[in-house]
Amino acid sequence: MLTLKNLSAYIPEYKDLIMPDALFLQTDEGFDWYYHLLKFSEDTVKIAYDTNGVVRFIEKEAAAIWPHNLSVTEIDLSNVHPDADVSGNWTFDGVAVVPRTYNSTEKLKLAQDKCDGLISSARLHMNEWQNDLMLGTINDEDKNRLSAWNSYVKKLKGLDLSLIDEIQWPEAPQD
Q: What residue segments make up the domains of the chain, in order of their start?
A: 3-99, 104-166
DSSP state of 166: G
Binning the chain into helix, strand and coil, the percentages to the nearest 5 are 40, 20, 40
DSSP state of 14: T
State the pLDDT at residue 23.
84
Query: Which amino acid is present at 138?
Result: I
State the pLDDT at residue 19.
62
Crossing angle between the packed helical segments 140-157 and 104-135, to the nearest 10 degrees:
160
State the pLDDT at residue 15.
60
Beta bridge partners of 24: 10
- The three-state secondary structure class of 5 is strand
Residues of the chain with pLDDT under 70: 15-20
Single out the residue of 60, 73, 61 nearest to residue 31, CA to CA: 73
State the pLDDT at residue 138.
93
State the pLDDT at residue 53.
95
State the pLDDT at residue 165.
84
- The three-state secondary structure class of 72 is strand
Residues 6+ apart with CB under 8 A from 125: 149
Q: What is the pLDDT of residues 141-169, one digit of tens each?
A: 999 999 999 999 999 999 999 988 899 99
- The three-state secondary structure class of 55 is strand
